[in-house]
Amino acid sequence: MSTAVDMSHYVRADKIEALPPPKLARGPVAWMRENLFSGPVNTLLTLLALYLLYVTIPPVVRFLFTDAVWTGADRSVCREDMVGHPVGACWAFIADKINFFTYGSYPAAERWRVNVFFGLLAIGVVWLLWLRAPRRDLGAVYFFWVFPVVSYILLTGGNADFGGRFWTIFAIAGAVLIAALAAAAYALNASIRTAILAGAGIVAAVGITLAAIDWDFDLLPVPTALWGGILVTLIVATVGIVFSLPFGILLALGRRSRLPILRLASVIFIEFVRGVPLITVLIMANTMLPLFLPPDTSVDRLLRPLVGTAFFASAYMAEVVRGGLQAIPKGQYEGAMSLGLNYPQMMIFIVLPQALRIVIPGIVNTFIGLFKDTSLVSVVGIFDLIKTIEASRIDPNWAAPTISYTGYAFAALFYFVFCWGMSRYSIGVERRLAAGQKR
């Protein structure tokens, strides 16, 4: 009997198209089933979230967009009893007060100087944060030295008129600083020649900066009492962010130092500043800072909260950086020392780059908190954005029920845009730096 099988009866000769996957295995329905309705608790939370969105989103959209008033010259366009229909946000009020919100009481004829400051700030931020920008080393010099000096001269008018006595004191202080750095290098077993050159460079940079501020550029002097709005908010945030990171790194290194006096001073500063609210620091900086200066010396009213904000953010930044330093394995220190690197070289080239990469989320979180906390300077009489809104909403010409809500909505939008931008940038930097470490 033959056992051969005729395969032509079992193998299909023509090709057929592949069948689509089951609807409940792929696609939007499957995604919703897996992520939104995977169980009783998840289903209940999804329904609760949808209900909250249904309750909150439509009124917000109606207030901000559908019922909003976009044009007008006074309160008559933003009052329901005058226009005869529901009125939402009065954006005409924001349009009418936008110059006050931006410049405060800065003289109108000199506001081009503020616009130049905004442009220089944007150039510095883009140059420094754009990872593909050319010569970012020059960008750092521009942002941390050229930009502050030019901005100060532009906004204040320069021509500080220091006098000969000031320059004599500056020369003596410069010589003391160079001697102190040389002594510190000797104590740390570092290069004394490098320390002297670094000290001379610092003294020269500070001297050039003070000479530029002392020069008369024939600009109209504008006191800081006339500054306000977004200008002050950006200045306080920029100064706090720029100074808090390097000062926080120095405090973190000081707290881990083997020198008892340096470690004790860093611990006292960090714990004291972290132990009090920012409002207390601002009030102390506003009232107590002049007590530590000579009687004939006065401190600018805007400089006081700037110092307090920078110190406050530096204490928090120091703890963030210290967390990164503690996460570095001991082998990294031993490897750096085996290469013959001294302490500054080990920190600059080996330890700090790794530690700062680890704590990027904490650093950005501190920056975001600092940016929002700038609104507290209004407590000590500084006219920031919130203060200008508070002053404008009681204008009789714009007396309407929705004026206050509109002003605060504008402030919330302003802060959200900046904080969201910082958050998104940090996420991009984290992904770029972690690209080579994914397993």
385 Cβ neighbours under 8 A, 6+ residues apart: 101, 229, 230, 232, 233, 375, 411, 414
Q: Across residues 96-108, what is the average pLDDT?
A: 93
Amino acid identity at 297: T
Model pLDDT for residues 300-341, shown as the tens digit of each residue? 888 888 888 888 999 999 999 999 999 999 899 889 889 888
Give exposure, 132-145, as e/b (b: 16+ Cβ within 10 Å): eeeebeebeebbee
Which of 106, 98, 300 is closest to 219 using CA atoms?
Answer: 106
Please give the torsion angle defined by the CA atoms of residues 61, 64, 67 and 69, in that order, rounded to the nearest 10 degrees: -160
Bridge partner list, 432: none
Which of 231, 97, 102 is closest to 154 using CA atoms?
Answer: 231
Which of 283, 287, 259, 255 is closest to 271 using CA atoms?
Answer: 255
User: What is residue 136's predicted lDDT score, i.e. its pLDDT?
Assistant: 82
Mean residue pLDDT across the chain: 87
The position carrying tokens 């926080």 is 248
Which of 181, 303, 306, 319 is closest to 248 using CA atoms?
Answer: 319
The position carrying tokens 């979180």 is 365
Reading the block at residue 130, the tokens are 């754009």
Model pLDDT for residues 360-417, shown as the tens digit of each residue? 888 888 999 999 988 888 888 888 899 999 999 889 999 888 999 999 999 999 999 9
Q: Report which DSSP code applies to 6.
A: -
Reading the block at residue 110, the tokens are 């000199």
Could you tell me how many residues make up the chain? Answer: 439
The position carrying tokens 């007396």 is 399
CA distance 264 to 181: 20
More confident residue, 160 or 54: 54
Percent of the chain with pLDDT over 70: 96
Which of 292, 285, 274 is closest to 380 using CA atoms?
Answer: 285
Which of 316, 334, 345, 188 is closest to 252 using CA atoms?
Answer: 316
Coil, strand or helix at 206:
helix
- The backbone region for 223, taken as left when phi is positive above 0, alpha when psi lies in -120 to 50, beta otherwise, is beta
- Please determine, for residue 1, whether its predicted confidence score (pLDDT) is greater than 60: no
In this prediction, residue 41 has a pLDDT band, given cuts at 50, 70 and 90, of very high
Please give the torsion angle defined by the CA atoms of residues 40, 42, 48 and 50, in that order, rounded to the nearest 10 degrees: -120
The position carrying tokens 């990171």 is 245
Bridge partner list, 216: 158
User: What is residue 140's predicted lDDT score, i.e. its pLDDT?
Assistant: 86
CA distance 399 to 396: 5
Give exposure, 174-190, as e/b (b: 16+ Cβ within 10 Å): beeebeebbeebeeeeb
Percent of the chain with pLDDT over 90: 38
Q: Alpha-carbon Rg of the chain, whole angstroms?
A: 30
User: What is residue 282's predicted lDDT score, i.e. its pLDDT?
Assistant: 86
- Please determine, for residue 439, whether its predicted confidence score (pLDDT) is greater than 50: no
Which of 248, 262, 231 is closest to 156 using CA atoms?
Answer: 231
416 Cβ neighbours under 8 A, 6+ residues apart: none
Amino acid identity at 204: A
- Please determine, for residue 93, whether its predicted confidence score (pLDDT) is greater than 90: yes
